[in-house]
Structure formats: C-alpha cells, structure tokens
Amino acid sequence: MPTTATERPAPPPAERRPGPARVPGRSPTRTIRGREGLWGWFFVSPMVLGLGLFLALPILMAAWVSLLDWDGQSNPFTPDADFVGLDNYRSLLAEDGLARTLLATSLRNNAYYVLLTVPLQTALSLTLAIIVNQRMLRGRSMLRTTFYFPSVTSSIAVCTVFLFLFQGSGAVNQLLGWIGVKGPNWFQDSRGVLWVLLDAMGITDGVPGGFLADHRMMGLPFSEWLAGPSVAMCTLILLAVWTTSGTFMLIFLAALQNIPRELEEAAALDGASRRHVLRHVLLPALRPVMFLVTTLGLIATWQVFDQVYVLGQGDPANTTLTPAYLSYSYGFDNAEFGQGAAISFILLAIVLLMTGVQRFLLRERGGRGLSGRGLSGQGPLRQRLAAGAARGAVPAAAKSGPGGKPEHGEGKEAPRAHD
C-alpha cells in the first residue's frame, strides 16, 4: 500500500513545507533536490547491483539453462551450449519415464505436506496466541519466549534433535510405549498413513491392488496418489508445525492486541459467552491475519528443503522427496543442471499460483468480512498490523490520522492531522 503513494509524483515543494519554512522562490529547493538525486543513487547503488546480480540475473540465467542440457562444467553462455528447447520440461511433464515419475512423486509428497502443515500450524499458532494474550496469565512473556524459541534456532540443529527424538528406539517411541502404543520406525517407514490407518481398522489389507494400483496419473499409480503422507513425511510435518508456530503466534498476537478491547466488552455487556465472543468477535476480526498466515505458510511449505536434506534426502522410497530437493539433487548430485533448473521453474510457477490464489481470496474476504460487520476502524487489519510494527519501532509514528485511511503514505503531513 505505501507503494501506491510513492508512485505518485512528488507534490510541489512549496506545499510540503508547513508554516514559516516556506520559501517563495524555487531555486534553493531545486539545488537541494538536485543533490538529493545523486545521493539517492549513491545510497541505493550497492543494493541495486547486489540484488540485480544475485537475484534478478540468476533467474534469467536459469531460465536459459532450463532450455539446455548442461552438466555444470562448460560455459552455458556460449554458442556451443547444448540447446534442447523445451525437452527438459517435456520429460518432466509429458513423457513417460523416471523424470516424470519422480516429479509426480515429489509433488504428491509436497502436496500432502502442505495440506497437513498449513492448517495445523495456523490452528496451533492461533491457539498459542490466544493463550499468551491472556492478561491475567502469569509468566506470559516466558511462555511467549518458549513458544518462539524453536523458530529462532537453526533448522539444521533442530533437525538433529528430531533425528534423535524420532529414532526407532528413541524418546518419542519410548513415550508412546508408556501409553501402550508401539511407535513406528519413523524415518524408515514409507507406508502412506492412509493405508496404515485403513489397515489398522481392518478395512483394507495393506496397500490396495486392483484398479487403484493399475491406473496411473503422471506415471504414478492412483494408490500412491491417495496414500497420504508417509510415516517418515509425518515427522517432517510435525517438525514444521513445531518450528513455525512460534512465528505465526507472534503475528496473531500482534493482531489480537490491535482488536479494540471495547469490542469484547460490548459483547460481554450484551451477555455473550466466552465462546460467542471468540466465535463472533475475535475470529472475524482476525480473518485477514488468518489469510496472511496461511499465505505465508503456503509459500514456505512448498519450498521445504533443509529438513528434507537432513532427515531423509528423499528416503524412504522417495516419500520425503520434494520438488525443491529434487531440483537440487538433479543439479548437484547428477550434474543435470538443465533438468534441475526446469524443476525450479515448475516450483516457481506453483508458488506464484498459490500466492495469486491467496491474494485473490484475501482481497475478496478482507473487505467484506470486516466492514460488513461494522467493526470500528475497519481499515484492513493488515494495515493496522503494519502500523503496529512501525509503532514498535518509533513511538512518534503511532497516531497517524484518524482510523488509518487507506491511502496515507509518506506524503501525509502529521501536523495537519493534529491541528
């Protein structure tokens, strides 16, 4: 939103200066502005160079390499590079073969990972935020620290701990043993949880054969598409939920603290029960943040890499393979960088699609959901969240204009609002 304001041409200088500082002529201003331009470019040039060289340029180069058969050795930007056109994409998406089966497997795995992780982490972090938001609770800040700490530590270190906890004879299985459950051999178990569950209930006998096994989509039997995440993948899901819930809790917490207390009180005066307040006051007010959190979750979960690298490298039976890891492994293990780059573009397309869908939903509901219910200062909560973050940094910026009108960028003069 601030970007829309900055895109507007700067207002004439005379208008921007309140009161006595106003100078009738334009020449002094112009010299200051002139030097500002130089300074501006001086200040941003390292960033422009760096971001361009290490973020924008690589994408273009990778787009080119995804059209090559490149082994990582020769120079891919000479005429004798082995140009194969869309072959890399074709073998991944259209032709029967190992490449397509692997990609389909990784997409299946990651889809289950997303499907379970995102709702779980959102629900858990919201629960934690509501708990930590209780004013009466003793030791709230200690709790907040406890919940947030896993998000701050290195993913590799945390994976190491999980490797230890979830070993076959490890701590988790010992805990399960106390309540009479025999835990699986987590990191080695490639069975899909759906078949495990149905098997346990006596509905199926192991992995079903027949129709489900015979028919394939993208080279993968239906039974595998339907199997659910493998037991091994479940540890990755637990890990993700555990490490990310702290961060999302903080986002929810900031939003909760921005909900006017009067709302809760008014509801209580009207005789609403706690559950009603939660359902009809807090949750609707949190909806935009909910969408924000799910968007961030969706984007992050489609990119899971570190955990895959440490916990299984795709094993067992490729059930922890994800597109991100597949892309890496094509490039760096098999020296097929063209194929790897093609996978990363397919992944990019997925992430962009997810973001796009979420954006669309966010826009639809964000407006209607809140203003329709007549919440005061409905200027999207997201915006107030932004204001909150800025306020954390500078107290002076706290009160900028009544109700936070949508279009207040930097052009707004604070003194005018106060007088």
15, 94, 123, 164: which one binds other proteins (CB under 8 A): 164
Q: Looking at 101, 190, 204, 303, which residue binds other proteins (CB under 8 A)?
A: 303
The closest alpha carbon to 260, from 85, 403, 108, 409, belongs to 403
Decide if residue 7 touches other proteins (CB under 8 A): yes
Nearer to other proteins, 219 or 404 (CB): 404
Instruction: Out of 75, 80, 180, 182, name the contact with other proteins by CB under 8 A.
Output: 75
Which DSSP category does 217 fall into?
A: E
Binder of other proteins out of 15, 26, 30, 59 (CB under 8 A):
59
Question: What is residue 68's DSSP assignment?
Answer: B
For other proteins, the binding residues in 119-138 under the rule CB under 8 A are 128, 130-131, 133-137
Instruction: Mark the segment that binds other proteins (CB under 8 A) among 68-76, 105-113, 195-203, 207-215.
Output: 68-76
370 binds other proteins (CB under 8 A): no
Residue 409: CA count within 13 A, CB half-sphere: 12
Give the C-alpha distances (Å, rounded to integers) separating 249 from 106, 133, 256, 301. Answer: 29, 10, 10, 17
Of 395-414, which residues contact other proteins (CB under 8 A)? 396-397, 409-410, 414
Tokens of 251: 């986002």
Residue 361 interacting with other proteins (CB under 8 A) = no
Residue in 346, 304, 344, 330 with CA at minimum distance from that of residue 62? 344
What is the rounded distance in angstroms from the CA atom of residue 22 to the CA atom of residue 198?
Answer: 78
Q: Is 257 in the site for other proteins (CB under 8 A)?
A: no
CB of 112 to other proteins, least distance (A): 18
Say whether residue 89 binds other proteins (CB under 8 A): no
Query: Nearer Cβ to other proteins, position 196 or 310?
Result: 310
Q: How far apart are CA 348 and CA 322, in angstroms?
A: 13
Q: Could you tell me the two tokens for 268?
A: 């209580």
The residue within the footprint of other proteins, chosen from 107, 254, 290, 321 (CB under 8 A), is: 254
Told to check if 416 binds other proteins by CB under 8 A, we report no
Q: Least CB distance from residue 408 to other proteins, whole Å?
A: 11
Q: Is 143 in the site for other proteins (CB under 8 A)?
A: yes
> Helices marked H in 96-201 — which ranges?
98-132, 140-152, 155-165, 171-178, 193-200
As a whole number of Å, the end-to-end CA separation of the chain is 26
382 binds other proteins (CB under 8 A): yes
Q: Does residue 278 interact with other proteins by CB under 8 A?
A: yes
Q: Which is nearer to other proteins, 161 or 217 (CB)?
A: 161
Answer yes or no whether residue 268 interacts with other proteins by CB under 8 A.
Answer: yes
Residue 230 pairs in a beta bridge with 192
* Closest separation in Å from C-beta 224 to other proteins: 24
Does position 376 interact with other proteins (CB under 8 A)? The reply is no
CB of residue 344 to other proteins, shortest distance in Å: 5
Sign of torsion over alpha carbons 82, 86, 89, 92: negative
Check if the beta carbon of residue 257 is closer than 8 Å to that of residue 388. yes
Letters for 335-354 (x = contact with other proteins by CB under 8 A, - = none) are --x--xx--xx-xx--x---
Place of tokens 């006596």: 202
Alpha helices in 302-336 (DSSP H): 306-311, 323-328
